[in-house]
């Protein structure tokens, strides 16, 4: 009797071994999918943090320049020499000097031709998950291939939605087309330069 059961037991052991290997493979696949989903979720969170901190720095640079130039006739923009200057009292424009959330370190600073820091960018060359539907302050990021191409600076192509109230807009700012040869007023209307406004019709003499 034991001899007759030996082939059956060997078959059962072989079947159990196959099922065990199949279970291991399925567990490995499930863990791989979960790991990819977790990685994507973490990247989305870091990406959102990058946008939030970058836009805050970008706005701080805009308000810093506007504040320094207030009441003075100064050509161009004025920029800080360090990001720490944006946090100084009595009028801080930035809560703290942030690090690059995606690059996990210092930002790469974008220097203005006239001196000072006009913007920051991540040092990461990774591909962003987000490609569309950016906040208005950085809507020009659409379609950029890497985080390194996300430059948070003042001024920038999305400046029409970023400048502080009362600051004249540049000619042809996105969403605010200026008339040929004209400049944009703070209210968004086009003002021509060098053109003579049409005079009112002379009153008609009464008999």
CA-closest candidate to residue 156, choices 98, 110, 188, 122: 110
Q: Which of 183, 156, 155, 162 is nearest to 171 (CA)?
A: 183
Q: Is residue 23 part of a domain?
A: no
Residues spanned by the domain of 87? 45-163
Flag whether 139 is in a domain: yes
pLDDT in tens, 183-196: 333 333 333 334 44
Does residue 155 lie within any of the structural domains?
A: yes
Name the pLDDT band for 157 (thresholds 50, 70, 90). confident
In a domain, residue 183? The reply is no
On whether residue 110 sits in a domain, the answer given is yes
Per residue in 167-186, is it b (16+ CB within 10 Å) or e — as a string? bebebebbebebeeebebee
The pTM for the full model equals 0.66
> Which SS3 state, helix, strand or coil, does residue 122 take?
coil
Give Cβ neighbours of residue 49 (< 8 Å, ≥ 6 apart): 101
Question: With bands split at pLDDT 50, 70 and 90, how would you rate the model's confidence at 180?
Answer: very low
Residue 28: inside a domain, yes or no?
no
Predicted pLDDT of residue 36? 84
Number of structural domains the chain divides into: 1
pLDDT digit string, tens, across residues 95-151: 999 999 999 999 999 999 989 999 999 999 999 999 999 999 999 999 999 999 999
- β-strand partners of 44: none
**Is residue 57 included in any domain, yes or no?**
yes
Between CA 48 and CA 133 the distance in angstroms is 12
In a domain, 118, yes or no: yes
Higher pLDDT, 69 or 165: 69
Residues shown for the chain: 207
């Amino acid at each position: 009797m034991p001899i007759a059961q030996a082939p059956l037991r060997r078959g059962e052991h072989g079947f159990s071994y196959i099922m065990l290997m199949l279970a291991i493979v399925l567990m490995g696949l499930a863990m791989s999918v979960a790991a990819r989903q977790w990685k994507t979720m973490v990247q989305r969170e870091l990406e959102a943090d990058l946008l939030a901190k970058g836009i805050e720095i970008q706005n701080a640079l805009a308000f810093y320049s506007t504040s320094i130039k207030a009441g003075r006739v100064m050509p161009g923009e004025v920029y800080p020499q360090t990001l720490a200057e944006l946090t100084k009292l009595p009028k801080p424009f930035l809560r703290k000097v942030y690090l690059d959330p995606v690059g996990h370190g210092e930002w790469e600073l974008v220097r203005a031709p006239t001196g000072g820091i006009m913007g920051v960018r991540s040092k990461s060359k990774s591909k962003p998950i987000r490609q569309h539907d950016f906040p208005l302050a950085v809507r020009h990021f659409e379609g950029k291939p890497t985080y390194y191409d996300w430059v948070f600076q003042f001024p920038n192509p999305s400046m029409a939605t970023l400048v502080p109230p009362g600051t004249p807009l540049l000619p042809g700012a996105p969403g605010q087309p200026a008339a040929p040869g004209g400049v944009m007023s703070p209210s968004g209307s086009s003002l021509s330069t060098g053109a003579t406004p049409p005079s009112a019709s002379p009153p008609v003499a009464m008999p």
